[in-house]
Amino acid sequence: MLILGLESSCDDCSAAVIEETATGPKLLSLVRKSQDDLHGPFGGVVPELAAREHLLQIHGVIAEALRQAGLEASRLDRIAATQGPGLVGCLLTSFSAGKALAWRYGIPFVPVHHLFGHLNAARFEAPALPFPALVLLVSGGHTHLYVSTGWTNLTLLQKTRDDAAGEAFDKTARMLGLGYPGGPLVDACARRAAAPAPKFTPPKFRDGTASWSFSGLKTGMKLRIAAEPGLGEAGAEDPRVQALCRSLQDAISKWLLEPIPAWAERTGAKSLVISGGVACNSKLREEATILAGRLGLELGIPAPKFCTDNGAMIAAAGALLPPSELPLELNADADLPLPLPMG
Ligand code: KG4
Ligand code: ZN
């Protein structure tokens, strides 16, 4: 089965073609247009600018994905596109393009929840992953832990009370003048540190609810930068900046993985999936590998190109989800809820 996957929920405009085989998805092409230069000067995604840019990019991105796969659109068996959640002006572009293309060629159209996309990104590396799986989805907008009994279901276990972990990376990079998007820049800077700066204090929750909080890290970082004149402009070559990045990365990796052993025991999990942009982080990947080994969990962390938003993960989810019976009636939904797990 040949599937075109489209994704434009935030600032990545992406299309990919996969072939779904008996042994899992095979990537035939993956095209992604970044908007980093457009949003960089603002230090974050400007929704209206992103939406306008997607409109300019989408046709070229789809044409290039088909060209690289060596296919005419008429040969596709399915077209899948992200329906939500995300920025609605952005979502609309690839969702409408997908519906239109499906209608033109009479191809089944599959609306995909963005988080099913991030989960299915793990199928490229680990198509035979054992379930139940703990699924940590961690990006610029999400820091959520789910338990999953298959590739198309997610039941929430815990989430952040405030910021997503990616936000802490992006805001730190902004405060330190490292650039945008922050995650990869903080990661690179942290890897150059000879030693970490003093640890950040983990948040404590009085009500005992299982959750995370990352907003305090932004304040902690702001106070430390303010305490050392010139640090905000010192740049990635400065050992103090490198040490701070390392402490931030150590804290985020540690906090994210801390609840995993208890949830693994409670859910009887056999595997651990980590996906979303922050799953590219080198320290998190390293620590997760050690933890999974210790707990006897099979690990499904996608390759970095599948962790950040991309069309291939949407195609991979679209291979397993049902096509819509009335695709032209569907609309993009900024707050699309996850469907309730069946059974
Ligand atoms: O999944 P994604 O592409 O888009 C959202 O759905 O948000 O994730 C983007 C986020 C950004 O916050 C970016 O800074 C972060 O992923 N990120 C990283 C790394 N690469 C991307 N964070 C930490 N370390 C990285 N290497
Ligand atoms: Zn995402």
pLDDT digits (tens, 9 = 90+) for 158-199: 999 999 999 999 999 999 999 988 999 999 999 999 999 999
CB 221 within 8 A of CB 273: no
Residue closest to 341 by CA, chosen among 133, 110, 123: 133
Q: What pTM was estimated for this model as a whole? A: 0.96
Query: Would you kindly state where each structural domain of the chain is located, as residue ranges?
Result: 2-121+305-329, 131-301
**pLDDT at position 44:** 86
Same fold, 2-121+305-329 and 131-301: yes
Express each pLDDT in 279-298 by its tens digit: 999 999 999 999 999 999 99
Contacts 24+ apart (CB under 8 A), 199-202: 199/247, 199/250, 199/251, 200/247, 200/248, 200/251, 202/251, 202/254, 202/255
Pocket of ligand 1 (CB under 6 A): 10, 139-141, 166, 169-170, 181-184, 187, 276-278, 280-281, 308-309
Asked if pLDDT for residue 266 goes beyond 60, the answer is yes
Question: What's the gap in Å between 307 CA and the centre of ligand 1?
Answer: 8
3-class secondary-structure state, position 149: strand
Copy the structure tokens of residue 30.
Answer: 């993956």
Q: Quickly state the pLDDT bin for 208 (edges 50, 70, 90).
A: confident
CATH topology of domain 131-301: Nucleotidyltransferase; domain 5 (3.30.420)
Class of domain 2-121+305-329: alpha beta
Q: Quickly state the pLDDT bin for 342 (edges 50, 70, 90).
A: low
Mutation test residue for ligand 1: of 45, 169, 170, 175, the one with most atoms within 8 Å of CB: 169
